[in-house]
Structure 1
Amino acid sequence: MNTTLSVNKSPRNPFIRNLLTFFLNRRALAIGLVFASDSLLLGSWVAHIPHVKAKLHLSDVDLGLTLFAMPVGLLIMNPLTGWVISKLGEAKACFWSAVGLALCVLIPINAPNQFILAGGLLLMGLCTALINVAMNTCATNLERAENIVIMSACHGMWSLGGLLGSGIAGVVIAMHMLPAVHVAVMSGLILMLTFALQPILARIPSSSRTETGEKSGSSFVRPNVDLLLMILIGLALAMGEGAAFDWSAVYLRETLGASSQVAALGFGSFSLMMTSFRFVGDAILVRIGGKRWLQIGGVMAALGLLLAIVLPYPTTALLGFAILGAGCSLGAPVLYAASMRVPGIPPAAGLATFATFSFIGFLAGPPLIGFVAEAFGLYYGLGFVAIMLFISAGLGKLVKLF
């Protein structure tokens, strides 16, 4: 059954038309819900990290080292995702990694000691890496099969899931619900949703072989020039996201003297703008193209950070972080899709390679900002990221998006 709107009945507004194409296509929406469930679980867990820290009597150093277990899991699994997907297929890998994440999130919230906490986070990292590659590959396969554009909307669902997860967690904390109960309820709901989506996911086309006859998930690969440029742009954009995630509240509170409530809005304004742009991003990308957006978005993101630095007031900083969110919003959808179309590289392997290296930007960005801030001040730390974003806009002119 055709689940998309017919052309004759489609509204003329391209933004509404693309959103309807996404939400009225059962397979597209199913993939989007997997994106949302991933970030919903992560947002639910992150909100309770202070509780776990207090329960296990961890110092700041102990917590920092323990939390690093999840990125370790991501980095371990990313090079293996292509092989796993080649064995299971994209839809099955998407389904089982979603099930695994929903179960693994129960471990850290109930961990009786630091070692089990680290083990649970490691498992969460493994599942997160696999679901990341699998769901993006499923989205690309459906785009090709039905000649539609849904990647940005799928990433919009991921951003929306994170916002909902954080918001629900905030309400739950205010109600004094036990964190373990909250996470268990969310895990159960996501498991039911995942099993309900499984028959729809199973009907998503597979890219078992590329045009050259290679298996789509054969291996992790050494980046060629085209993929390397994508990785470098992804590094800069990930640093921009990391700056908002880890440093926006600190900058507003400690550098600009904003209240704690206003400081909390820094990442909120970034996330809200990123989510909004991703839901209309497919229509934007159809009109101007991914290559052009990488240039516009890089400049926009850099200018947003510069606005927060040059006009150091809470209101202008909030506006700056919002512009940063808009500029960073469509980079991931463009680059994730493009990394699976590089000639001579199997799709899942290209995505896994891009995800592995670009993730380093999200990990390394905040500490680099911290080192620069320690030596020269947070203004210069954020300014360093702005320079990287300007460079990414320049690289956007050189990159080839196949």
Structure 2
Amino acid sequence: MLLARVAVCAVFLLDGAVYGSWAAQVPALARQAHAGNAVLGLVLLGPAAAMVLTAVPAGRACARFGPRAVTAVCLGLGFVVLALVGTAGSALRLGLTLAVLGGLMGMVDVAANVAGVAVVRALDRPLMPLFHAHFSIGGLVGAGGAALGAAAGAGTTTQLAAVAGAGLLTLTVVTRWLPDERPPAREDRHPRRSAVSGDDRSVGVGDGRGAVAGDRRRAVAGDRRHAVAGDRRGAVAGDRRRAVAGDRRLWAVAAGAVLVAVAEGACSEWSGIFLVQQHETADVVGVGGYALFTAVVAATRLGGERLERLLGAHLLVGGGALLAAAGLLLTATAPAASVAIAGLGLAGAGLACAFPVLIGLAGRAGEARDRDGDGDGDRGGREDGRGGEGAEVGRGGGEREIAFVTTVAYAGMLAGPPLIGWTAGVAGLPLAMGTVAVACLAVAPAAWIARRTAPETKPARSPAAT
């Protein structure tokens, strides 16, 4: 299982490296495609929209083929498309290429998380923050490589092609060690047809008619019982969905997640443009600003569990949002590029843990709903009353709440780039970055309301941390 853990970390790192490689090249790609700020905002909308559209198909593909196959195919194709991004000579071609890349990497995100959960189950250790920290480290590696390439005078096409080649080689090595969990196949999708055909083959003609008729009656009765049980489960699920959508406290969590997603997207995809256009720096300085932001995010996430134990979820999210707002205001009003880059570092420190902690608050909301009897009944076992692995998985609760908050946050990822691009086109980049700082200020009251989803408790020290 050690090799599986290393392989999952490697996939998260490769995923982040893909994103960091092209995100750090946004100024050069925009100039190469002759895209202004408003058009660039629409171009950057493509990959976010494609990630949303491929999330559900990715889950189904993992269930059918396993996360190993989905990761190998989609990440391999993603590296091929990444090499093509550097050849885009128009805004339309750049937008379409990035949209395809975003769709593939969205599927990789899902498959990597499925594989990560398999490792967490096997080792019984909370390793997901560590896996996601490797995504940030991968982004730093990609951005750092872009900075070194720009300093050496390498073109965008050459740099992205080099990343694609190195990534394909690494993927070939680690794929064999990835977990390949998938749900067990259904034994029989047509019980009535199987019973009839089986009895026809095993009994004589005379007795066969009676056996077949009896099996048909039993199959029909069984189908009726399953239909009734299904209706009950559907009614309970409908009540749960209505309870989730009507929870105002959960909407506060989702609002905070949206604002954090917009701020992270602004820092990742617009910081280079801001430095190059506003302070007239070289591309290597713009790449360096993005690299610093990513490095601070990665370092802070590595210590995120310790910070949450020390400060608690509410203070970590609210205080971090205020720190991010201060950093972005410093960036927007900075008289020099060095001051603006320092502001990006502060923003990275403030935003790093916000989204994971908000997702955790959503999960606590589901646990509290189940505990208070507002959920979908007894989650201590499976629907058929048997125990086993399904019982352990279902005992935690919060799946619908987490999905709800994540879906709403994706809307922020979709709306953020074009809104920032439109604001920059109308009023300039400093005001656009200042608007993002105001959005960060709004995260603090959202976090204060969100704490009511569950009692504010500082997480206990896990055995793995001792």
Q: Secondary structure at the match of 1:177?
A: coil
Name which one, 1 or 2, has greater alpha-carbon Rg. Answer: 2
Tell me the CA shift for residue 37 of structure 1.
0.7
Equivalence for 2:439:
385
User: Quick check: 1:155–1:333 contact (8 Å CA) kept in 2?
Assistant: no
Tell me how far apart the structure 1 counterparts of residues 33 and 54 of structure 2 sit (CA, whole Å): 28
Q: Secondary structure at the match of 1:176?
A: coil
Aligned pairs for 1:116-127 within 5 A: 116-127=93-104
User: Quick check: 1:82–1:349 contact (8 Å CA) kept in 2?
Assistant: no
Question: Which 5+ residue runs of structure 1 have no aligned equivalent?
Answer: 4-24, 215-220
Equivalence for 1:357:
408
Tell me how far apart the structure 1 counterparts of residues 94 and 280 of structure 2 sit (CA, whole Å): 34
Tell me how far apart the structure 2 counterparts of residues 125 and 269 of structure 1 sit (CA, whole Å): 23
Tell me which amino acid in the other structure corresponds to 1:85: C
Aligned pairs for 1:55-74 within 5 A: 55-58=32-35, 61-74=38-51
Equivalence for 1:327:
350
Equivalence for 1:158:
135
Tell me how far apart the structure 1 counterparts of residues 179 and 307 of structure 2 sit (CA, whole Å): 30
2:166 equivalent among 169, 189, 196:
189
Equivalence for 1:46:
23
1:241 matches 2:264: yes
2:86 equivalent among 105, 109, 119:
109
User: What CA deviation, in whole Å up to 9, does each residue of 1:104-150 have, x standing for no partner?
Assistant: 22332234655544332221121121112221232233223311122
Tell me how far apart the structure 2 counterparts of residues 371 and 113 of structure 1 sit (CA, whole Å): 22
Question: Which 5+ residue runs of structure 2 have no aligned equivalent?
Answer: 186-228, 234-240, 367-374, 377-393, 460-466
User: Quick check: 1:70–1:121 contact (8 Å CA) kept in 2?
Assistant: yes
User: Quick check: 2:33–2:94 contact (8 Å CA) kept in 1?
Assistant: no
Equivalence for 1:145:
122
Tell me which amino acid in the other structure corresponds to 2:156: P
Tell me how far apart the structure 2 counterparts of residues 46 and 262 of structure 1 sit (CA, whole Å): 14
Equivalence for 2:298:
275
Tell me how far apart the structure 1 counterparts of residues 156 and 30 of structure 2 sit (CA, whole Å): 12
Equivalence for 2:325:
305
- Taking a change above 3 Å as real, the CA distance of residues 366 and 384 of structure 1, as seen in their structure-2 partners, is farther
- Taking a change above 3 Å as real, the CA distance of residues 337 and 91 of structure 1, as seen in their structure-2 partners, is farther
User: Quick check: 1:277–1:326 contact (8 Å CA) kept in 2?
Assistant: yes
Moved more, 92-101 or 150-159: 92-101
Tell me the CA shift for residue 65 of structure 1.
3.5
Root-mean-square deviation (Å): 4.3
1:27 matches 2:4: yes
Tell me how far apart the structure 1 counterparts of residues 29 and 446 of structure 2 sit (CA, whole Å): 38
User: What CA deviation, in whole Å up to 9, does each residue of 1:282-326 have, x standing for no partner?
Assistant: 4445x359xx33542332222342366489666876555434322
Tell me which amino acid in the other structure corresponds to 1:234: A
Tell me how far apart the structure 2 counterparts of residues 390 and 228 of structure 1 sit (CA, whole Å): 14
User: Quick check: 2:253–2:446 contact (8 Å CA) kept in 1?
Assistant: no
User: Quick check: 2:361–2:453 contact (8 Å CA) kept in 1?
Assistant: no
Tell me the CA shift for residue 196 of structure 1.
1.4
Aligned pairs for 1:151-230 within 5 A: 151-202=128-179, 205-206=181-182, 224=245, 225=247, 228=251, 230=253
Tell me the CA shift for residue 397 of structure 1.
0.4
1:82 matches 2:82: no
Tell me how far apart the structure 2 counterparts of residues 133 and 319 of structure 1 sit (CA, whole Å): 33
User: Quick check: 1:133–1:348 contact (8 Å CA) kept in 2?
Assistant: no
Tell me how far apart the structure 2 counterparts of residues 47 and 121 of structure 1 sit (CA, whole Å): 14
Tell me the CA shift for residue 160 of structure 1.
1.3
Figure out how many residues of one structure are paired with residues of the other and give that number.
366
User: What CA deviation, in whole Å up to 9, does each residue of 1:49-83 have, x standing for no partner?
Assistant: 45444555555555444443322312321343333
Identity of paired residues, percent? Answer: 22
User: Quick check: 1:97–1:131 contact (8 Å CA) kept in 2?
Assistant: yes
2:316 equivalent among 280, 283, 296:
296
Tell me how far apart the structure 1 counterparts of residues 120 and 53 of structure 2 sit (CA, whole Å): 29
- Taking a change above 3 Å as real, the CA distance of residues 149 and 176 of structure 1, as seen in their structure-2 partners, is same
Tell me how far apart the structure 2 counterparts of residues 269 and 161 of structure 1 sit (CA, whole Å): 13
Tell me how far apart the structure 2 counterparts of residues 89 and 268 of structure 1 sit (CA, whole Å): 34
User: Quick check: 1:92–1:202 contact (8 Å CA) kept in 2?
Assistant: no
Tell me the CA shift for residue 395 of structure 1.
3.6
Tell me how far apart the structure 1 counterparts of residues 347 and 74 of structure 2 sit (CA, whole Å): 31
- Taking a change above 3 Å as real, the CA distance of residues 246 and 46 of structure 1, as seen in their structure-2 partners, is closer
